[in-house]
Amino acid sequence: MKDRIVPLIRMRGCITLSAVAGTLLLALAVLIIFGPLAGLLFELARFFGAGGGGSALAGLLTGRRLVLLIQSVGLAAAVTAAGICAGVLIATALWRRSRAFSFGILLLVLALSLIPPYIHALTWSSAITLFNQGLTTIGAAPLPSSGWLVSFWVQFMAMFPLAIFLSCIGFASVDRTLVEVARTVRPDSEVLQKIVLPLAAPSLVAAFGFLFVLSCTDYSVPSLFGSDTYALDIFSVYSATGSAGAALITALPLLIITVAVLVACRSGIRRLAQTPNWTVGAWDNPPVVPGPVRLFQEGAFLLLGLQVVVVFSGLVYATGSWAKLSSALAFSAHEIGDSLLIVACVIAIGIPLAIVISRELLLPGVRGSLWWGLILLPVAVPAPLIGIGIISLWNNPAMPVLYGTFLMPAFAALSRFAAFAAIILYVQIRAIDPALIDAARVFSRDTVATLTKVTLPLLAPGIFIASAVLAALTLGELGATLIVTPPGFGTLAIKIYNYLHYGAAAEVAGLCLFMVAATLVAGVCVAGAVAWWNVRGPGSRCKKSVMDHD
Amino acid sequence: MQRKSIACIILTLAIVFTVALALIVCQPSGVPQKTVVVYTSVDQVYSEPVFKDFENRTGIQVLPVYDVEAAKTTGLVNRLIAEKSNPRADVFWAGEFSQMILLKNQSVLAPYQSPSGSDIPAQYHDTEGYWTGLGGRARVFIVNTDILKPADYPHSLDDMLSPAYPGRIGIAYPMFGTTATQAAALYSTLGYDKAHAFFSNLSERGVRVVDGNSVVKDLVVSGQLDYGLTDTDDACTAIAQGSHVAIVVPDQGAGQMGTLVVPDTVALIAGSPHPAEGKVFIDYLLDKNTENDLVKSGWIQVPSRNVTTVIPCLNGTVIKPMTVNYQDIYDGVEMTKTDLADIFVR
């Protein structure tokens, strides 16, 4: 009896302490993630106070802006829909492939997602020119090299890798036992249509929202091909007026649309009731898809192959030689180190914050809904405005210690991307079977052991994935980082864009190749860590101990 | 029970987080006592050697913050304005002048007249001493020599409207960067009606408007455009890299208006943390030898003083600059950008 009481007392002590720590972390999350929005609201109030609000609001209602908004939303919707469709085709085609092949594809698309959209645009622009030269040689009419069609194509190809990655996650969230049961009574095509797709739909809708926001806020690809978007107009206003308030007002229509899309996607995620298995592999007996679908799947693989060939051949050709690659890396060692430091900082701070937020997202009622609305808001705000909000909040005499340190770019990335980590962990926490935790609590005498041997192993896949997503997004962040990066500090993204202007194609291509290679290596390490954790590490011991007690 | 367990995780992670944060905040900065924080919109590849040389000569460490073209001039200038109440920068070194006038109007700058700038012509100085200019870049045509023969080269901005050039012409978005400055100069020189008509005609005839001067250069180099309007540094870089392009300085004939020359500018930030070091840096930057180094490196093609270095990409061409008043250009920038957004972003 005495043996039982001591752990209970320990556990209560732990709960009290953890409640305090949880509250503190939540307060910190509010400060870091929503603080920039508060700073922006302050700037907005100042703008209205100076009398600029009326004219800025009136300027919103012009026909030109309405047309731009419709064009932008249309392009983003088309790109996203096409991306998700192609992603679904590849994700379902991977069912028939080996686990190693699927893993390789996932790593590849994650690495491709890190390449700045502008690089995709430039390599595709060159490819189209080359193709047109070939067509002209044989006397055929060349393809259009600018306009909405080309903008759609290049933006679609730039988003394609991320769409595949997110679609794969979507299908990984489908509980295969449900599918297998259905397959015993219905043909595969019907199971796919009536079971698999509806089960994956919430995740795919979430992926749609994410890609839609990315597409809506990017102006670099469309503008290279002569298509103007609303995001460009926001920058145009910001550049003309130098006022964050004016830019924020101009951004309002796009902000409302993107937040509405994200909130709509949120309902999908909240309904996600299945057990996700991030590390899901190939099926022993994969569902058979109808012939035409299989044809489309092969077509989607061809597209991916085309994207890989165009981008990698473009990058390798531009890099030129190993000597140029190594010199680019040596020349950017400082920026590589700084970028990795920021990434480490974002993960170290972001994961605890994401866990507390995911707990809030789990809450029913108004509080949970409010958190869903709030957490998605910074995602839709243009990046430079987040930077200005951070300056407004942190650059004052009351907080002199942190401003000017590399925590600022980390906070910028956290404000913009913590929502994604929180949502991933939300899904992961929902997936944990409470019976496992309860069993561990009842039979374990040690809270720390429960934590390290049961709970953490169960959360680990989500933590790994959330860390990878945070790392990938942080590495490529430019708009907000530029505004808040401390003096003497530099990131890889800033260096790449700086050299892009100079025309140092070899250096830029070399650094992009490095980012891709680093992602591949990191991905292999994360996969190795997950495998070790589940097979030989605490994950396996957790399962074993729970099963023993059962 | 699950929530209790999650709470325990939070406790552990909170400890890890706190320790990590403490380590981050308490880490020794390793910053020597004498430093100067320089915000610059000059490309890193050109400005970094200047900083290194300054450090070697003075022992003062430069902590730079760089801008990028992709930020569409919404980067450092807006950062400086946002930081105005608690400045972090000592010096702003800009690749053009209109941003500097904006910063002066926003009370971000402090007056400082450097002795090193005493031999710089008067038009490069702010009348109240808030900023000083040095050499800079000019707006030029970059022409693909594989596509156009010398006889077909354009020679005036008006040629961009000529039916002789069927449309494979490019400019950067005229709401941003030096293209915006040139547009404001045209509005100031030609008057609203003529300038508005010029840009409207450009837009209507399908001139390709792209995401920056470097993109114009890239597209001309790759043969996707016949020619385009860009800065001399971009064009000279392409020539130095062996691309099949040529530079044509527009409107250089008798009676023509000349081309816009965009000087670099430098200023001290009001209330900066290291004003003494900031002044030392400004003195160094405005020195004739530094300007010569910047000409040598390829950043400056139109020096403010006679320097020894010859600019190879211009083949000894003496550029006839447009006669402009910087303040007039600045005054028209916001209206110009708004007007051009109406014309080009639709």
- Cβ-nearest to B8 among A64, A447, A485: A447
Q: Which residues of A touch B237 (CB under 8 A)?
A: 502-503
Task: Please name the residue of chain B whose CA is at the shortest distance from the CA of residue A64.
Answer: B346
Q: Which residues of B touch A354 (CB under 8 A)?
A: none
- What is residue A11's predicted lDDT score, i.e. its pLDDT? 47
For chain B, give percent helix, strand, coil, nearest 5.
45, 15, 35
Task: Please name the residue of chain A whose CA is at the shortest distance from the CA of residue B12.
Answer: A18
- Nearest Cα residue to A240 out of B183, B262, B57, B226: B183
Q: Which residues contact B121 (CB under 8 A, 6 or more apart)?
A: B304, B305
What span, in angstroms and rounded, lies between the C-alpha atoms of A435 and A437? Answer: 5
pTM for the full predicted model: 0.79
Three-state DSSP at A285 gives: coil
Q: Which residues of B touch A43 (CB under 8 A)?
A: 82
Q: Which residues of B touch A495 (CB under 8 A)?
A: 44
ipTM score assigned to the predicted complex: 0.76
- Nearest Cα residue to A423 out of A50, A143, A166, A48: A166
What span, in angstroms and rounded, lies between the C-alpha atoms of A505 and B317? Answer: 28
**Mean pLDDT value of segment A516-534:** 70
The C-alpha R_g of chain A, in whole angstroms, comes to: 24
B310 pLDDT exceeds 90? no
Encoded amino acid at A291, one letter? G
Instruction: List the structure tokens of B311.
Output: 């600019």
What span, in angstroms and rounded, lies between the C-alpha atoms of A512 and B334? Answer: 36
Q: Which residues of B touch A490 (CB under 8 A)?
A: 44, 66
Q: For an interface test with A, which of B15, B29, B69, B78 has the most A Cβ atoms less than 10 Å from its Cβ?
A: B78
Could you report the per-residue pLDDT of A258-290, keeping only the tens digit for each? Answer: 888 877 777 666 655 444 555 555 667 777 778
Q: Which residues of B touch A429 (CB under 8 A)?
A: 2, 6
- Confidence band, pLDDT 50/70/90 cuts, at residue A10: very low
What span, in angstroms and rounded, lies between the C-alpha atoms of B20 and A349? Answer: 8
Q: Is A232 in Cβ contact with B345 (below 8 Å)?
A: yes
What are the E-state strand segments in chain B?
A: 35-40, 61-66, 91-94, 109-110, 132-144, 169-172, 208-210, 227-231, 245-248, 261-269
How far CA A386 is from CA of A182, A357, A452, B21, B317, in Å, comes to: 48, 20, 36, 22, 46
Could you report the per-residue pLDDT of B124-180, keeping only the tens digit for each? Answer: 999 999 999 998 999 999 999 999 999 989 999 999 998 877 668 999 888 888 898
Could you report the per-residue pLDDT of A134-150, keeping only the tens digit for each? Answer: 888 888 877 877 788 88
Could you report the per-residue pLDDT of A330-385, keeping only the tens digit for each? Answer: 888 888 889 988 998 999 899 889 988 988 888 888 888 888 878 878 887 888 88
Q: Is B81 in Cβ contact with A478 (below 8 Å)?
A: no
Burial class (CB in 10 A: 0-12, 13-18, 19+), A24: middle
A462 pLDDT exceeds 60? yes
Q: For an interface test with A, which of B11, B26, B61, B313 has the most A Cβ atoms less than 10 Å from its Cβ?
A: B11
Question: What pairs with residue B109 in β-bridges?
Answer: B269
- Cβ-nearest to A355 among B10, B76, B79: B10
Could you report the per-residue pLDDT of B312-332, keeping only the tens digit for each? Answer: 888 778 889 888 888 888 888
Q: Is A25 in Cβ contact with B208 (below 8 Å)?
A: no
- What is residue A545's predicted lDDT score, i.e. its pLDDT? 56
Q: What is the DSSP string of A318-384?
A: HH-SHHHHHHHHHHTHHHHHHHHHHHHHHHHHHHHHHHHHHHHHT--HHHHHHHHHHHHHHHHS-HH
Which residue has better confidence, A211 or A226? A211
- What is residue A536's predicted lDDT score, i.e. its pLDDT? 64
> A with B: how many residue pairs have Cβ under 8 Å apart?
256
Q: What is the DSSP string of A177-236?
A: HHHHHHHHHS-HHHHIIIIIHHHHHHHHHHHHHHHHHHHHH--HHHHHTT---HHHHHHH
Q: For an interface test with B, which of A482, A484, A492 has the most B Cβ atoms less than 10 Å from its Cβ?
A: A482
Question: What pairs with residue B248 in β-bridges?
Answer: B141
Question: What pairs with residue A312 in β-bridges?
Answer: none
- Cβ-nearest to A240 among B44, B224, B337: B337
Three-state DSSP at B132 gives: strand
What are the E-state strand segments in B145-278?
A: 169-172, 208-210, 227-231, 245-248, 261-269
Q: Which residues contact A477 (CB under 8 A, 6 or more apart)?
A: A383, A409, A412, A413, A416, A417, A491, A493
